[in-house]
Chains A and B, each alone.
Chain A
Amino acid sequence: MVPPVQVSPLIKLGRYSALVLGMAYGAKRYSYLKPRAEEQRRVAAEEKKRQDELKRIERELAEAQDDSILK
């Protein structure tokens, strides 16, 4: 077996500080994006509800106008 390589301390320091920085960055960005995504979902749901309501009204209107004795 090849003997293990002695890694330079700079590289070790660099690796582990990059790891810690990455964890911090990931956690921060997650907590930043989470409320925004919830807000977007809420807005989208509201919009969808409104559109569904409009479509329903339109559909019922169309049905009502469609009703005639000349069916």
Chain B
Amino acid sequence: MGRGSCGGSFGRGVTFSRPAGRRTFQPTAMAQFVRNLAQRAPELVNAAVTYSKPRLATFWHYAKVELVPPSPAEIPTAIQSLKNIIRSAKTGAFKHLTVKEAMLNGLVATEVWMWFYIGEIIGKRGIVGYNV
């Protein structure tokens, strides 16, 4: 509809269509957009919450079991598993692993090592590079 509004969702119909002869945003259009956004903020927030709630619930459901840090009671078990690994390395029993098992172990080890890099990101307070 020529310079009409695109769907009326921007209130007064002033949209981002360029008026003939002008090549820039008129400041009032931007102000109108910001005002509209501020007015509709509660419903946007609501929509975001409704979308994320079930997904957060699923995430929490799995994270509670899988991502929880080890409790002090589990540490002896962990040390025992470590000793098993060292023993298998010493006796050469690791050569009897199938390739599939070895690959899975490699993947798990890689994932554990990646947590180190995530820790480094947290420690250096920047995602890429040290912002000194």
Question: Which residues of B, 84-132, contact A by the 8 Å Cβ criterion?
Answer: 85, 108, 111-113, 115-125, 130, 132
Whether B81 contacts A23 by the Cβ 8 Å rule is: no
Whether B132 contacts A37 by the Cβ 8 Å rule is: yes
Q: How many of chain B's residues touch chain A, expressed as a range?
A: 20 to 34
Identify which of B58, B70, B81, B85 contacts A16 (C-beta below 8 A). B70
A22-36 toward B: CB 8 Å interface, digit per residue (1/0)? Answer: 111111111001101
Interface presence of A21 (CB below 8 A): yes
Residues of B within 8 A of A24 (CB): 119, 123
Given contacts A9-B78, A26-B120, contact A33 B70 (CB under 8 A): no
Which of B5-13, B18-26, B38-46, B60-68 lies at the interface?
Answer: B60-68
Interface presence of B27 (CB below 8 A): no
Interface presence of A8 (CB below 8 A): yes
Q: How far is the CB of B94 from chain A (nearest CB, A)?
A: 15
Question: Given known contacts A9-B75, A22-B121, what 13 new A-B pairs fall within 8 Å (CB)?
Answer: A4-B62, A4-B66, A8-B81, A13-B70, A15-B112, A18-B112, A18-B115, A26-B124, A27-B123, A28-B123, A29-B130, A30-B130, A33-B130
Give B contacts to A, CB under 8 Å. Answer: 58, 61-62, 64-66, 68-70, 74-75, 77-78, 81-82, 85, 108, 111-113, 115-125, 130, 132
Give A contacts to B, CB under 8 Å. Answer: 1, 4-16, 18-30, 33-34, 36-38
